[in-house]
Amino acid sequence: MIRTAAPADVPVIHAMVRELAEYEKALHEAEATEEQLHEALFGERPAAYAHIAESDDGEVVGFALWFLNFSTWRGVHGIYLEDLYVRPERRGGGHGKALLAELARICVERGYGRLEWSVLNWNAPSIAFYESLGARPQDEWTVYRLTDGALAELGGASGGRTSA
């Protein structure tokens, strides 16, 4: 049911990323191309990893895209789950849980200290699903993000350099 993504999966991963963005009411922000995903997942220096959920007949029905993070407090890596998506008509079949279980297995096997992700506050079905697995919100933290003009402005200010 769950397997590591292969280069041939990039088109279907890309399609599901766009489906997820549409569900999250942010399709206009989904700018990644298939080529960018291929490079991130399978290029010379992969920056991300993906797992695929398949139905019994071999149809790709979901995916998890993740990357490593690092906890200075714990002194070990963790997994940050960027996207978890199961196509609506296939939800309830255990694919999402199986994808998360695979990432948890990787964490345990490799000695990683955390499996983390973000969920939109309005996404009650996903929140209920995650909490049913024992996940708990980290509501004492607020996510901040720099993008577009603000990122360019800050990155261009004094060259973004620090002295060593």
Q: Token pair for residue 44?
A: 């010379």
Residues 6 or more apart whose CB falls under 8 angstroms from that of 158 comprise none
* Parallel, antiparallel or unpaired: strands 60-71 and 115-117: unpaired
Question: What DSSP line would sit under 62-102, residue for residue?
Answer: EEEEEEEEEETTTTEEEEEEEEEEE-GGGTTSSHHHHHHHH
C-alpha closest to that of 143 among 126, 119, 115, 123 = 119
Indicate which residue of 80, 112, 130, 144 is catalytic.
130
24: which DSSP letter? T
Please confirm, yes or no, whether 130 is among the known catalytic residues.
yes
Enumerate the active-site residues.
130
